[in-house]
Chains A and B, each alone.
Chain A
Amino acid sequence: MDIREYCRPKSIEEAYELLCSEGAAIIGGGAFLNLGDRQLSKAVDIGDLDLSFIKEDESRVEIGAASTLRDIELNDITRQAFEGVLSKTAASIMGVQLRNVATLGGTIYGKYGFSDMITTLLALNAQVELYKAGAMSLESYLNREHEKDIILKVSIEKEVTKVFYEGVRKTGTDFSMLNAAAAMVDGEFRLCIGSRPGRAKLAKGAMNFLNGIDSAKGSAGIAAILASEELTFGTDARASDTYRKELCKTLVRHCVTEVLE
């Protein structure tokens, strides 16, 4: 990796200013899966900005952008809140070596299709707080055009009554061939599917259906079909679109069943 200048700003303002120069990028945890030929004029290390925290109050859980996946896996708050789904999702990702380095902010900023955290956080209706653009839903953030900004934290309202995440991997260190998460948030059912291999998306048709039904009976199967039909699936080295569509039905069935129970 070719970096011309490495900066360690002491304030967010300073970090943002540095970031705005051409060819600059934020260095979060510094977890890179494949460095390739990347070139940066400035690498802006946000390690000194006190963004590594996990805290909660009565109404929400907040996770600083510099918290590592391993922090999320081990922290008491994330192990307990939301049935421990954040901890469980984090724990399923590759190995400790990566989780000790990869940060939540980095995962979200990259908007990676393979991300398991994004799938779970979307189902939980997480909010992302950016330095410049302010707070917005994770969904809006993912749909937004890329703009240089610094993610400060992610917060999740404690309106979640039930949540479930599942991913299917070939081996213990694989990315998910598909992942899914469902949650009941403030009485509304949310359902998200990721690693399609495109970026995680809410299955809104299936969500509408689930939010309109009176009885849970048989609804998981219908939601599975709706979700598999409304979303698009692609083929890559990991799995084919056909298989992903089938997996989508399976995972949605599991998630919906768990959440409606």
Chain B
Amino acid sequence: MAIDYSGQPLLKVENLKQHFKVSNTYTVKAVEGVSFEIYPGETYGLVGESGSGKSTIGRSVIRLYDPTSGSITFDGTDITKKLTRADKKKLRTEMQMIFQDPMSSLNPRKKVEDIIGEGLDIHHTYENRAQRDRLIKDILAKVGLAPEHASRYPHQFSGGQRQRVGIARALIMNPKLIIADECISALDVSIQAQVVNLMKDIQQETGAAYLFIAHDLSMVKYISDRIGVLHLGHLLETGTTEEIFSNPIHPYTKSLLSAIPEPNPIVEKNRVAESYDYKTSGIDYNQGFNHHVGGSHYVKCTDQEFAKWA
């Protein structure tokens, strides 16, 4: 499906800051001035190591946290301020989340049909019991589970199947945006491929946009249209998948790309991964601002750095 980049973005994050006050003297600046846009039907991949703030961004976007400053516009509505009842309803139905660990994100005491149907129950989106059952059966079929799975409990499923339940739960509200927070990291390689294929199929069918948060760059490359590279709360580099992978500018992006082990023994044993250490690199992220590389490719750095790297 072609993505329309000329229209209104579905999600617009501008200069988002998310700080957590730990004590009177110490504040964790998890996200420092991040801006990006997601268009309808697009997949935006956020990558970075743990502690880079990628999950925090996901959680701020769905308003599990109150952003410190900046603005988040979802489908034309500003969702940074105090939410009205109507805004909340819109947000809780049209934006959904898939979590990392399918075992701990599914209530072990509920049947799959009740886990999936919980959103329907809360928002009263069905007329009678039969319709609810039909909706649940449809969604189960869509994610590749059988109708008889509805009356089972999460522990009766394998990891891949559980993640399918998590996806079904997100899909049942017909969301416009799905935030997938490391949703395949806990799965086996062959199962990862199945889940990623499923997510791609669903996107084709429903036109939902994804915010795909992960640290596995090879999968991110595979699923994303555009990528943002995050480190220590700063969005260092963003662009289409092609641009980032064929022409990485920032040394951190380069080190991230070179750290991926390839299934090629001779190459792997000879290759030395590029290392990057923020402390010794002499780069100060706070000094940087966005430089345009070409197309939709931007790098956050100072003028001198840009001249040196590009």
Chain A bound to chain B: no
